[in-house]
């Protein structure tokens, strides 16, 4: 992304956390499909790269369904598995309806959540109507499963 000028190389105070992020580069529009000139004037407009086990969530109330039978899962069971995964466990649970065994990334989340070790948070990059991150952009085609967790506050992939 640095080479393609989607983000700047130097990390600055451009995100809302105690860490530093990469500011938008001259060709940031390659990543979001729709140019948003106001993005460059915002205080929080950077890309934060996080590593380590982390839950990437949409900050929304969600429903979680079984990938095999579609049955909606009880939130308290899902929350338990999220807490277990976040504490270093597998987070694997069986569907209460058909018995399918699922890891957290296997469930059908109506607002995608992701469970992984590498995250990209794009602060305020998707504010314009029609903007979206490409499903599989060349700039981050890293050969691993990617999932986008979107919220009004931030975007993680
Ligand atoms: Zn099921």
Structure confidence by residue, pLDDT tens digits, 101-148: 999 999 999 887 889 998 888 888 877 666 666 554 444 556 666 666
What pLDDT does 153 receive?
42
Q: Is residue 68 assigned to a domain?
A: yes
Judged by phi (left if over 0) then psi (alpha if -120 to 50, else beta), residue 130 lies in left
Q: Give the range of the structural domain holding residue 137, as residue numbers without chain letter.
A: 1-51+120-157
Q: Is residue 124 located within the same domain as residue 83? A: no
CA of 82 to the centre of ligand 1 (A): 18
Interatomic CA distance for residues 42 and 15, integer angstroms: 10
Q: Is residue 124 located within the same domain as residue 47? A: yes
pLDDT digits (tens, 9 = 90+) for 136-150: 444 455 666 666 666
E-assigned strand segments in the chain: 47-56, 64-65, 93-94, 101-102, 108-109, 114-122, 149-150, 155-156
The total number of structural domains in the chain stands at 2
Q: Is residue 91 assigned to a domain?
A: yes
Q: What is the mean pLDDT of the chain?
A: 84
CA of 81 to the centre of ligand 1 (A): 16
* 54, β-bridge pairs: 116
CA of 68 to the centre of ligand 1 (A): 5
CA of 151 to the centre of ligand 1 (A): 27
Protein residues with C-beta less than 5 angstroms from the ion ligand 1: 66, 68-69, 71, 95, 97-98, 100
CA of 57 to the centre of ligand 1 (A): 22
Q: Is residue 56 assigned to a domain?
A: no
CA of 138 to the centre of ligand 1 (A): 35
pLDDT digits (tens, 9 = 90+) for 50-101: 899 999 887 777 899 999 999 999 999 999 999 999 999 999 999 999 999 9
Q: Is residue 114 assigned to a domain?
A: no
Q: Report whether 25 contacts 46 (CB < 8 A).
A: no
């Amino acid at each position: 992304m640095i080479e393609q000028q989607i983000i700047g190389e130097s990390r600055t105070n451009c995100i809302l956390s105690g860490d530093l992020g990469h500011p938008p580069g001259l060709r940031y529009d390659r990543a979001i499909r729709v140019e948003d000139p106001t993005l460059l004037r915002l205080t929080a407009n950077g890309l934060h790269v996080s590593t380590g086990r982390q839950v990437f969530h949409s900050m929304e109330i969600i429903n979680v369904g079984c990938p095999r039978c579609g049955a909606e899962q009880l939130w308290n069971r899902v929350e338990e598995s999220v807490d277990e995964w976040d504490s270093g466990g597998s987070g694997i649970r069986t569907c209460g309806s058909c018995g399918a065994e699922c890891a957290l990334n296997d469930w059908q989340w109506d607002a995608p959540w992701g469970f992984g070790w590498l995250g990209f948070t794009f602060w305020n990059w998707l504010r314009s109507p029609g903007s979206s991150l490409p499903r599989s952009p060349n700039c981050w085609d890293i050969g691993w499963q990617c999932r986008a967790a979107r919220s009004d506050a931030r975007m993680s992939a």
